[in-house]
Amino acid sequence: MDFPDRLHAYTTRAETALDALLPSATTRPARIHEAMRYSLQAGGKRLRPVLALATAELTGQPCVDPLPAAVALECIHTYSLIHDDLPCMDNDDFRRGRPTCHKAFDEATALLAGDALLTHAFRLLATQYAANPTLSHALTLELSNAASSEQLIGGQMEDLLAEKKSDATPDQLEFIHLNKTAAMIRASLVMGGLCAGLDAPALDTLRVLGRELGLTFQIIDDILDATADSATLGKTAGKDAKADKTTFVKLHGLDGARRHAREHTDAALAALAQLPGDTAFLRQLVETMLVRKS
Ligand code: GRG
């Protein structure tokens, strides 16, 4: 299978599993399950599940089914987006091409839908890997670390603090990128590696890959933000008020940002070259992240 077909196959598998592993929209109380499904099934690139599934297949068929882990990752990612969009945070009206959860439902429901997705992720790891307690524990540890107050939430906190000032330092910006963005990308790779039964050195290499790919991903995100017109962004007044915020492009300029993104991609490719198995798909995915347009 070539790269686009394999990407499509992983995305489809992840989306089928998302549907199967979430409470149905009619489960009582229907409104919370509708809201969870509304945001989770709104599309998106499914990058984190794809990374987990592809890594799980690096050395052939994985020892255990990586789909529940892939769904858990997307649940955490989607919860973070729902909460990030709330009026008390970024106050965004649109996400994944449709009204944000709090616009389609209401703020309280969106808050609960995020909470429920966060909780559901760990329920999946506890229930779907119950036959393998060691793996269940390792997956839970990896995902809870990535989603913790020192990583995903810590990165978001630092980002909110940085919004109040236009002179965030490169060090602060790197902390934000590493934790708000790279932590979940790194966890996706490591959780896939755990399902593949990879050894400790390979898992460490996946961590390096996740760091470098995560930093590339966020720099490209900043470049896309800086070069998109406001109509494309579809932002609210709340978002425009943060126009002064320090970004990678503001600190390094567009050319500097592109150069840094290339350097992180090269470091990611160097890490990939250390991994066992067939790395062709991941290599192409890493290259694609550098030139992505959305
Ligand atoms: C509220 C705890 C909490 C965290 C919020 C994810 C996040 C942290 C904020 C969203 C804003 C942002 C720019 C985050 C950086 C990570 C990022 C680029 C997220 C968007 O990920 P994509 O592009 O989204 O993979 P899709 O919709 O394609 O899944």
When pLDDT is averaged across residues 66-83 and rounded to a whole number, the result is: 98
Q: Which residue has the higher pLDDT, 76 or 229?
A: 76
**pLDDT tens digits, residue range 137-182?**
999 999 999 999 999 999 999 999 988 777 788 999 999 999 999 9
Question: Containing domain of residue 71, as a range?
Answer: 3-291
Say if residues 186 and 214 touch (Cβ distance below 8 Å). yes
Q: Identify the residue whose C-alpha is closest to ligand 1 atom 3.
A: 80
* pLDDT for 241: 47
For residue 42, give the ligand 1 atom closest to its CA.
27
pLDDT digits (tens, 9 = 90+) for 254-293: 999 999 999 999 999 999 999 999 999 999 999 999 999 9
Ligand 1 pocket test: pick from 11, 80, 98, 215 the residue with the most ligand atoms within 8 Å of its Cβ.
80
**Pair 237, 167: CB distance under 8 Å:** no
Taking the centre of ligand 1 as the mean of its atom positions, its distance from the CA of residue 25, in whole angstroms, is 24
Report the domain count for the chain.
Answer: 1
Q: For residue 41, give the nearest of 88, 78, 80 by alpha carbon.
A: 78
Ligand 1: residue whose CA is nearest its atom 19: 181
Phi, psi of 265 (to 5 degrees): -65, -40
Asked if 6 and 28 touch (Cβ cutoff 8 Å), the reply is no
**The predicted structure's pLDDT at residue 98:** 96
pLDDT in tens, 174-187: 999 999 999 999 99
Position in ligand 1 atom list of the atom nearest CA 83: 1
Which atom of ligand 1 lies closest to the CA of 147? 2
Measured from CB, residues less than 6 Å from any atom of ligand 1 are: 44-45, 47, 77, 80-81, 83-84, 96, 152-153, 156, 180-181, 221
Ligand 1 atom with least separation from CA of 95 = 27
- In a mutational test of the pocket of ligand 1, which residue from 180, 186, 220, 285 has the highest number of ligand atoms less than 8 Å from its CB? 180
Give me the mean pLDDT over the 70-91 stretch: 98
Measure the CA–CA gap between 31 and 69, rounded to whole angstroms.
25
Atom nearest to 78 CA in ligand 1:
29
Q: Cα(287)–Cα(124) distance, rounded to whole angstroms?
A: 31
CATH number at residue 263: 1.10.600.10
- The dihedral formed by the CA atoms of 231, 236, 237 and 240, expressed in degrees to the nearest 10: -60
pLDDT number for residue 249? 94
**pLDDT tens-place string over residues 205-264:** 999 999 999 999 999 999 999 998 654 554 444 455 466 788 899 999 999 999 999 999
Question: By alpha-carbon position, which residue is closest to atom 24 of ligand 1?
Answer: 44
Residue bearing the CA closest to ligand 1, atom 29? 44
Q: What is the ipTM of this complex?
A: 0.94
